[in-house]
Structure 1
Amino acid sequence: MKMAIIGCRGIPAEYGGFETFAEGLTENLPDAELDITVSCEYKPPELRHKKYNGAELEYFPLKPPHNYLLRKFYENFSDIYFLIKLSRANELIYFLGIEVGMFIFLPKLFNRKSRIMVNIDGVMWKRSKFNFFERWLLKINHDLATIFADTIIVDSKQMKRYIDKNKLHKTRYLSYGIKIPERITWNGQTLERLKDYTPINIISGNYFLLVARLEPENNIHTIINAFSQAKVNIPLLIVGDFTSTAYQEEVTRLAQNCSPPGVIFLGSIYDDQLLNMLRQNCTAYIHGHSVGGTNPSLLEAAASRNIIVAHYNPFNWEVCKTAALYFNNEKELAIKLRSIYRHPESYSELKNRVYRRVKNNYLWEHIATGYLSLFKKINGEKKERLTRLEMDYEGKRA
C-alpha cells in the first residue's frame, strides 16, 4: 500500500510534535507492508536525505520566508502543493493537522482510489498566539477537515469531544508513541556538548526542566512567574524556541525577576542524547501545555522517569492520571516547586508510576500495530468499494 504523510516540516525531526510523530511512525511501521512518502520543507540539495527510516522524502521547491505571517502562508501553500502532487501516486493520504482542512478533498480530484486520513491534533482555534481571524479560520478548517476526511485520527481520547457526533463513526483513537530511551550518564562527551548551549555549570539533579515551543498556550510566562515566587536555589532550564518576538520580550523580562541562578534559555536542542540526559537527571519536569492532544514532550518526560508537574487539563490528566502533580495557576505551581526542591524524596514514587503508565499505554510497538491494523482495514474497504463500482459498471453495460 502506497501512503503519503503530509503536514509536518519533514523528517528527521527538527521542530515539533508532528515531526517527532512522523519520524516515530515511519521508524516503527514494517517496510514490507507500506511504501511511505513524507513531505518535507525546503532544504538545500546537499542537506537532503533521499530516504529516511525507509520512507521516500519529497521536498518543497521554495525556501521558507523568515517573516511569521509569510511563513504561515508558505506552510499552507506547501501543504496544498503536496496534497495535489502526492495524491497521484499514493492510495492513502495521511494529513497531519487541520490548517488547510478546506483543501483536504483535493486528492480525490486527482485519484479516485485515494483515501484520506486526518490527524486533527489539538484545539488549535483556542491558541492565544493566533488572532481572532486566525482562530475563526482554524475552526472552519477543523470542521471541514472532519467532513472531507474518510478517517479522523485523534491522539487523545479527550479530542473526541471536539468532533461532531455525526462524524464519530469514522473517528479512531491512536496516540503518539514513545520509545524508552537508554540511560545517559552525567559525564563524558554528552555533558561536554551542553557547553555549546550554556557556559553555566549545570549540576545533575539540581535543576528544573521545561521542553516546549515557547508560546502562550504552553504557559511559559506562568511557569517563570511561579519559579520566581518559589525562590529555590537551582536554575530552571528551558529548551525550545520562541515563535513570537513580542512574547519573547515579555518572557525574557519576567525571567529577569528571578533570583540567581535563575532561568537559563538553551534554545532548541535536537541532540537526542543530550536532551535525554537533561530529562533523566532533572529535579522535576514542568509541563505547561494546555490546549493540545497527547504531547510528545510529556511522554518523553514520563519515559525518562521524571517527577512531572503538569498544567491541569483533560489532555495531561489522560496521560498521567494520578502519577503526576498538577497546577492551575502560578501560585499553585510555586508551592509545588518549593516542596519538590525541599523534599524530593517525598515524590520519588511518582517517577515509577508515570513511567509504568507510559510503558503500558504509549510504546511505539503498540501504537504502530494499531496504525498498521487501521491501514489494512482502509485498504480492504477501498478494494471492496472498487469491486462494487466495477460490478455496477459491468451490470450497467450488460
Structure 2
Amino acid sequence: MAIIGTRGYPSYYGGFETAVRRLAPYLAARGWDVTVYGRRGTSKSGDPDDNRIRSVVTWGLESKSLSTLTYGFSATAHAAATRPQVALVMNVANGYFLPLLRLRSIPTLVNVDGVEWKREKWGRIAKAMFLGGAKATARHATRLVHDSVHIGDMWAKDFQRDGAFIPYGGDVPDDLPVPPGLAHGKFVLFVARFVPENTFWEFLQAAKHISEDYKVVIVGSSGYGGELDNAARRLASDSPNVTWMGHVSDDSLLHSLWQHAGVYFHGHSVGGTNPALVQAMACGAPTVARDTVFNREVLGEYGVFVDPDAKNIANAIRQVMQSQQQQSEMRIQIQARAREHYAWEAVCASYENELKVLLAKPQ
C-alpha cells in the first residue's frame, strides 16, 4: 500500500506526518508492504531507520502555493506506475490526481482534513484550488475519512459523500522533567503554526499582559519567516517572561511543555480534530480554547472556551492560572477523555479496517 500527500517518513512537520509516523509502522508490523511518498530533507539526523517502510522521494516545487500540488502530482504519478494494491491519500488538494490512480484500478482512501478553502492564510486562487480539489475528491475517491463528526456532516451536505470517522490519536507520556527555566503549572503555553486563523495575533496581544505575571512560552513559526515570526521575536525580546522556541520537533520536549503548562491556549479555528489539541489532552494540559464547534467536539465539557478577543483570552487564562484546584481537575478530566476517545492503537486499527474493506471490494 502507498501513503501519498505527506512530507514523508519520518517527518515532524504537522498532523498528517504525526499520523503517518504511527500508522506506517503499525501496518508494517501487521504484514503490510508500506511505501510512504515524501520530499527531500524531511528526515533529520538521528531519525530511527525502519527498514520495513519504503520511503520514496519525488520532485516538486518548494513554495507556499505550489508544493502541495507539485509533490502530490509526482507522487501520484509514481504510484500509478508502480500500482500498489491500495492508496491512502492525505489532503483534498490531491483530489485532482485521483483519476490517475482510478485508471490503474487502485482504490483510494482519502483523508479530507479540514476546510482549507476557508483558511485565511490562503489567497483567492489558493482557496479556489482547494475547493476544486475537494470537488474532485468527492467525485473520484473510493472512500473518505474525516477526522471530525462535524466535517463528516459538512461533506454529506455540501458534497453528498459519506465517509468513516477516524480522529487523530495522542500518546500519554510518562512523567517528564520540567523544562529548564520553568516551573510546573506556572507558565502559559501556545503551540501552533503562525497563521491568522490560529488566533495568533490575538494571543500575542493577550500575552503582553499575561507576561506581566506569568511566563509565556510560544512554540511554532510560519514556516516561511516574515511578519508573523518577527512579531513573536519582538515580543520575546521586549519581555523577559516571554520565550519563543520556534518550531519544536523534539516530541519529548513538546510533551513536557504540555504536561507542565498551567494553561495551554489552543486557538485553531478552521479544521476538524486538531492533532496538537489531542496530544495536549493526552499530556493532561489544562486547555483554554477558541470557541469553535471543532474544539468543543474534541474537548467536550472539559475545556474553557473563549471568543477570539485578546482581553477575553487573557482573562480566561488568568482565571485558570490562579486556581491550582481547577488546573488539577482539568488535567485529570482532559487526559481521561484523550485515553477514552483518542488512543493511537484504536486510530491505527480503524485505518487498517478501512484499507481492508477497500481491498475486498472488486475494482
Q: TM-score if structure 1 supplies the norm length?
A: 0.83
Residue 97 (str. 1) matches residue 91 (str. 2): yes
The answer to whether the 8 Å contact 1:210/1:238 transfers is yes
**Which amino acid in structure 1 is aligned with residue 16 of structure 2?**
F
Q: Secondary structure at the match of 2:301?
A: helix
Match of 1:247 among 204, 216, 228: 228
Q: Secondary structure at the match of 1:337?
A: helix
Match of 2:324 among 335, 344, 354: 344
- The alpha-carbon distance between structure 1 residues 160 and 280, as it changes in their structure 2 partners (threshold 3 A), is same
Deviating more after overlay: 276-285 vs 158-167: 158-167
Paired residues for 1:129-148 under 5 Å: 129-148=121-140
- The alpha-carbon distance between structure 1 residues 257 and 46, as it changes in their structure 2 partners (threshold 3 A), is closer
- The alpha-carbon distance between structure 1 residues 302 and 167, as it changes in their structure 2 partners (threshold 3 A), is same
Structure 2, gaps ≥5 residues long? none
**Which amino acid in structure 2 is aligned with residue 153 of structure 1?**
V
Once the two structures are superposed, what CA deviation does each residue of 1:290-335 show, in whole Å capped at 9, x if it has no partner? Answer: 1011111111111111111111101111111111111112222111
The answer to whether the 8 Å contact 1:232/1:341 transfers is no
Indicate the structure (1 or 2) with the bigger Cα radius of gyration. 1
- Aligned-residue CA RMSD (Å): 2.5
**Which amino acid in structure 2 is aligned with residue 129 of structure 1?**
K
Deviating more after overlay: 334-343 vs 303-312: 334-343
**Residue matched to 1:266:** 245
Paired residues for 1:168-179 under 5 Å: 170-179=162-171
**Residue matched to 2:287:** 308
State how far apart, in whole Å, the 2-side matches of 1:21 and 1:296 are: 9
Size of the aligned set, in residue pairs, is 360
Q: Secondary structure at the match of 2:65?
A: helix
State how far apart, in whole Å, the 1-side matches of 2:41 and 2:237 are: 40
Q: TM-score if structure 2 supplies the norm length?
A: 0.91
**Residue matched to 1:29:** 27
Deviating more after overlay: 331-340 vs 23-32: 23-32
State how far apart, in whole Å, the 1-side matches of 2:115 and 2:37 are: 24
Once the two structures are TM-superposed, the CA of residue 33 in structure 1 deviates from its matched residue by 3.7
**Residue matched to 2:107:** 115
Once the two structures are TM-superposed, the CA of residue 256 in structure 1 deviates from its matched residue by 6.8
**Residue matched to 1:282:** 261
The answer to whether the 8 Å contact 1:4/1:37 transfers is yes
Match of 1:156 among 143, 148, 172: 148
- The alpha-carbon distance between structure 1 residues 257 and 335, as it changes in their structure 2 partners (threshold 3 A), is farther
State how far apart, in whole Å, the 2-side matches of 1:325 and 1:257 are: 29
- The alpha-carbon distance between structure 1 residues 126 and 225, as it changes in their structure 2 partners (threshold 3 A), is same
The answer to whether the 8 Å contact 2:11/2:18 transfers is yes
- The alpha-carbon distance between structure 1 residues 177 and 263, as it changes in their structure 2 partners (threshold 3 A), is same
**Which amino acid in structure 2 is aligned with residue 102 of structure 1?**
Y
Once the two structures are TM-superposed, the CA of residue 45 in structure 1 deviates from its matched residue by 11
The answer to whether the 8 Å contact 2:65/2:126 transfers is no
Q: Secondary structure at the match of 2:300?
A: helix
Deviating more after overlay: 242-251 vs 153-162: 242-251
The answer to whether the 8 Å contact 2:173/2:282 transfers is yes
Structure 1, gaps ≥5 residues long? 195-200, 387-398
- The alpha-carbon distance between structure 1 residues 167 and 337, as it changes in their structure 2 partners (threshold 3 A), is closer
**Which amino acid in structure 2 is aligned with residue 118 of structure 1?**
V
**Residue matched to 1:207:** 187
